[in-house]
Amino acid sequence: MKIKSAEFIDSIYDLRTLPSTVLSEFVFVGRSNVGKSSLINTICNKKKLAKIGSVPGKTRQLNYFLINQEYYLVDLPGYGYAKVPEQIRAGWRKLVEDYISERENVNMVFVLIDARHEPTYLDELMVSWLEYYEIPFAVVLSKADKISKNKMEKQVYRSSKIVHNEVLCKDYIPFSIITGEGKNDILKLISQALIDNK
């Protein structure tokens, strides 16, 4: 599927103000700095659509992007940044869990894990929420350009250890904004999910 149009729609701070449409939502989650916003820009071929690399952990809203007038990409606030106070982390947790559990439009969630690091407790918690609420997801190993192919195989294996429901987990996708690796896999998953959802 080609992305013909991509536009920023809104920043949501309060779930009561989510768009009142029935369009499918494809959601990007993961630690601060893992590359969520960069990934959205890469798959949309737009360098400045989502804001990149400001202060990690600062983003506390859900950012909505409308694609091909047909579905949304949703950039969630990053989790687990060390300098974020506990109270704010608890706020993140509530916002994200409420969104995941209540929003019926969520079609699929992409869980980004930095390919150089082990999945964290928060990645595991995220996957367990998705499994509990039976939401299809894919694991994206980001910044693939920073490690060798051999190391990547090990990291895919490691990340599979936090997945317990292989039916809900649609794929493990090495991804890089530098090489473009993984871009087509993500777009294919989205188009397939849109077809399946019709």
Ligand X SMILES: Nc1nc2c(ncn2[C@@H]2O[C@H](COP(=O)(O)OP(=O)(O)OP(=O)(O)O)[C@@H](O)[C@H]2O)c(=O)[nH]1
Side chain identity at residue 66, one-letter code: L
Among 63, 142, 155, 159, binds ligand X (CB under 6 A): 142
Query: Binding to ligand X by residue 155, rule CB under 6 A?
Result: no
Of the candidate residues 36, 72, 108, 189, the single one contacting ligand X (CB under 6 A): 36
Nearer to Mg ion, 11 or 192 (CB): 11
Q: Report the site for ligand X in 80-119 (rule: CB under 6 A).
A: none
CA distance 163 to 176: 22
Tell me: does residue 52 bind ligand X (CB under 6 A): yes
In 3D space, the residue among 123, 91, 97 whose CA is nearest the CA of residue 110 turns out to be: 123
35 binds, among Mg ion, ligand X, none (CB under 5 to 8 A by kind): ligand X
Residue 49, C-beta contacts closer than 8 angstroms, at least 6 positions apart:
6, 7, 8, 40, 41, 65
SS3 breakdown of the chain: % helix, strand, coil, rounded to 5? 35, 25, 40
Binding residues among 17-46 for Mg ion as defined by CB under 5 A: 36-37
The residues binding ligand X (CB under 6 A) are 30, 32-38, 52-53, 56-57, 59, 78, 142-143, 145-146, 176-178
